[in-house]
Structure 1
Amino acid sequence: MQHSTILPERVMAKAAGAMRHLAHRMRSERPGHVVRGAKALIAALLAWGVAAAWSPGGSPYLAVATALLMVNASTVYQSVTKAAQNVVAKLAGLVLALATAWLFGVTAGSVAVIAVVAVLGGPRRRTDDRLQIASTAVIALAATATAPVGSLVVPVLQTLTGAVAGIAVNALVLPPLYVDESEAAVREVAHSIGALLRDMGDGLAERNLTAKAHTWLHRARTLEKRLTHAEERLRQADESLRWNTRCVAHARRKDVTYGEAFRILRGATLQVRGIARTLADNAHDRHADHHLGQQFLDRYAETLGLAGAAVQEFVEPGAATGSSGASRDRLRGAIDGVLVWHDTMTQLIGRGSLTKPGAWYVYGSLMTDVERLLADLDYADAR
């Protein structure tokens, strides 16, 4: 009876937590949806107002559709490049349709020529552009049978008008920036690395190396997914700063895309994976004389805890501005402690007085990884 009441309570607690997370996400994303909706409305009205006067029947639907496509591009740079590709593809399709109609007439042979040119022409990586050229050419070819050739220019002009309207609105009305998203992604990587280092330190201090070594290795390997996500966010942030009018008023934001911090954390991830792999291999080594001594593990646990705190504080605002002297002192203390410890271990190995001499290469691997990790953090912090 007790289990039957605990299980529903846990399910209800998880459901309530999920609902709170969803509500928070909706509140945080609502302003962005409102801005995008307002920009789309402005771009559509602008394109309609400009193109309606000279469009057949006063219905510039193609201009409005193109404006909506360009204004919803994720960055100003993408809206410009997509607009250029769209207009060039329609112009190429129109020229192809007129050429085939002039040479072969409006026949099945013209459609076959358009298909062959679309498949064989241009580089393979531009498949979408070639398909757009082919579809535009086929539509224009069909239109030549019932409409004057001059009227085929109208769709291209509507596309150009909609593209200009969409780009203008996207560039002038709160152009999108993704600096905050890139910062959050980089911080997530740092916090994951720091948490793993601290967990390894706690596990070593609690004598849980054998039980948790493979779990640590699995978590270290999954850090690559977080790195990939953060790298994509950084690329988007860098792209959002190109041709962005908001950067004129906030020029300092050009230097805040967290690319340098990401590169340091990528190197830290490699060191953490090396530490986790070495501990996992040693935990299940069948040679007893290769196992690490407990005195070494206790000291190494302390170092991993300090390293984890240093990684997490590395991306905090106080550490970035240099106003947090305490974090700097902790980092220097961890580095100095590791260097002294390294000298001590080297002397013990040289004298042959190490408790576990068969594990000297394991000591060296673990010491090298943590030294490199702290050295990278120290170098970045000094810069």
Structure 2
Amino acid sequence: MTGGTTTERSDTGRLAAVTQWWQRAFSYAGDERETLLVIGKSTLAAGLAWLIAYDVLDARSPAFAPFSAVLIMQVTVYRSVVQSLRYVGAVVAGVLVQAALGFLAGPDLLTFVLVAAIALTIGRWRVLGVQGPQVATAAFFAFSTYTSSSGDSERFFRLGEIVVLVLIGCAIGTAVNVLVAPPLRYRSAEYGIRSLAHTLHDLLADMYPVLAEGVPDQDTTGGWRARAERTEGMIRQARAGLETAKESVQLNPRRLLRRYRGHPGFHGYESVLGALERTLYQVAALTRGLDRSREEEDDEARRPFLRRYAGFLEAASAVAEVLTTLDETTLRAQAKRLERLTGEAEARRDEVVEETRRLSSSLADPSAPYGILVTEATRLLEEFQYTCEVLLDVAPETHRGPGGPER
């Protein structure tokens, strides 16, 4: 009885998850809709390629065409074109290697070994990139076609047929990617920045309440330090998202539509992403400073300073929160709010400086615990100010209202 009940609940949960997935796919532009779009476009490209290869050309190996069409269906039009060229180059190289050795030495085992060795060597050529292994794949298929054909003229024809089918498949795949909802990922740049900003906001939001209550213990400061230093992967992902956004514009006909005209490019996003990256490094340095400073002074002497410092981090957290909702369509309003919150963070930083002077601590001494923390706070504030300036510079150009581009 229990097992049946558990199975029914499991089935119900899976059905609910599938239903929610389809609802998300039809409700808004996201990963689910993108998955459906790629599947649909790949199916269309494969069907057209098979139609031409099998029904029109009556090719002996028509699968080469749909395979090629699906293989080069990339996330951006630019990448589809580049990978098509590399794939065609790899296939041609493989077929030529087999043809040269096959006609010179004949279709025996030694020839196959030589074909494999040369094709695998050519496949290491950096120009071919990820399509390098296709040199050997094409050579092996060509060798199989060569051995199953009779007469030199038929062999030449069948080897040439492989290249033609690959060209047809690549042409159809690229054409479908260009003409059917070509991906235009303006928002990918925003997503990466939002992700980093969330990480920054969450860390600062965890830090300031603890500092406001007193001196954190070593485990707590060590945990903050570890979290701040684990952002390398997220930074790489954010940069990859920005590069994808920039790449999606190249060779993309959708950028000519009215709703996408006048987009200023991605310089502003690059600057904000760079500032966020440096900000996370500053927070990491700040956590190291907190970790070291706890050994320098007694707890009671540090409490007033840490309360002021908590106020600064709270203000910094509010700045980071704005960046978690960065949106091109409302960028000017967000930039203005960011400017106001950055000014409040600066006021809190000044209070930290005054408290340090009241405690008669040297801000110029890099070995002094308060001096290190104030220095890191100042650098953090400078990155926020720079981010604010960048957004204010690009906001008048990028603001489009509710009808702006979504992807």
TM norm structure 1? 0.82
1:328 to 2:324 alignment: no
Matched residue type, 2:104: L
Q: CA RMSD in A?
A: 3.4
Matched residue type, 1:300: Y
1:105 to 2:106 alignment: yes
Please say if residues 271 and 373 of structure 1, whose CA atoms lie closer than 8 Å, have aligned partners that are also in contact: yes
Tell me the SS of whatever aligns to 1:177: coil
Matched residue type, 1:80: V
Please say if residues 205 and 298 of structure 1, whose CA atoms lie closer than 8 Å, have aligned partners that are also in contact: yes
1:174 to 2:175 alignment: no
Please say if residues 363 and 374 of structure 2, whose CA atoms lie closer than 8 Å, have aligned partners that are also in contact: no
Measured after TM superposition, the shift of residue 224 of structure 1 is 2.7
| Cα 1:360/1:44, change in 2 over 3 Å | closer
Residue 136 (structure 2) aligns with: 134
| Cα 1:362/1:24, change in 2 over 3 Å | farther
Runs of at least 5 residues in structure 2 that lack an aligned partner in the other structure = 1-11, 26-31, 391-407
* Most deviating of 293-302 and 359-368: 359-368
Measured after TM superposition, the shift of residue 233 of structure 1 is 2.0
Please say if residues 143 and 152 of structure 1, whose CA atoms lie closer than 8 Å, have aligned partners that are also in contact: yes
1:27 to 2:23 alignment: yes
| Cα 1:343/1:82, change in 2 over 3 Å | same
Percent identity among equivalent residues?
26
Please say if residues 291 and 356 of structure 1, whose CA atoms lie closer than 8 Å, have aligned partners that are also in contact: no
1:76 to 2:104 alignment: no
| Cα 1:166/1:26, change in 2 over 3 Å | same
Kindly provide the CA deviation profile for residues 229-277 of structure 1, in whole angstroms up to 9, marking residues without a partner as x: 2222222222222222222211345625832221111010001001111
Matched residue type, 1:310: V
Q: Using the alignment, how far apart are the partners of 2:319 and 2:204 within structure 1?
A: 10
Residue 383 (structure 2) aligns with: 376
Residue 371 (structure 2) aligns with: 364
The equivalent position to 1:157 in structure 2, one of 164, 170, 180, is 164
Residue 250 (structure 2) aligns with: 242
Kindly provide the CA deviation profile for residues 162-207 of structure 1, in whole angstroms up to 9, marking residues without a partner as x: 1000000101111123333442232121122122113211111011
1:258 to 2:254 alignment: no
Q: Using the alignment, how far apart are the partners of 1:135 and 1:46 within structure 2?
A: 23
TM norm structure 2? 0.77
Please say if residues 75 and 175 of structure 1, whose CA atoms lie closer than 8 Å, have aligned partners that are also in contact: yes
Tell me the SS of whatever aligns to 1:161: helix
| Cα 1:189/1:357, change in 2 over 3 Å | closer
1:206 to 2:213 alignment: yes
Measured after TM superposition, the shift of residue 356 of structure 1 is 12
Measured after TM superposition, the shift of residue 17 of structure 1 is 11
Residue 403 (structure 2) aligns with: none
Q: Using the alignment, how far apart are the partners of 1:34 and 1:261 within structure 2?
A: 32
How many residue pairs align between the two structures? 361
Matched residue type, 2:315: L
Kindly provide the CA deviation profile for residues 134-157 of structure 1, in whole angstroms up to 9, marking residues without a partner as x: 332233233233421222211110
| Cα 1:112/1:49, change in 2 over 3 Å | closer
Matched residue type, 2:320: V
Kindly provide the CA deviation profile for residues 293-339 of structure 1, in whole angstroms up to 9, marking residues without a partner as x: 22111111101111111122145447973325444222113224424
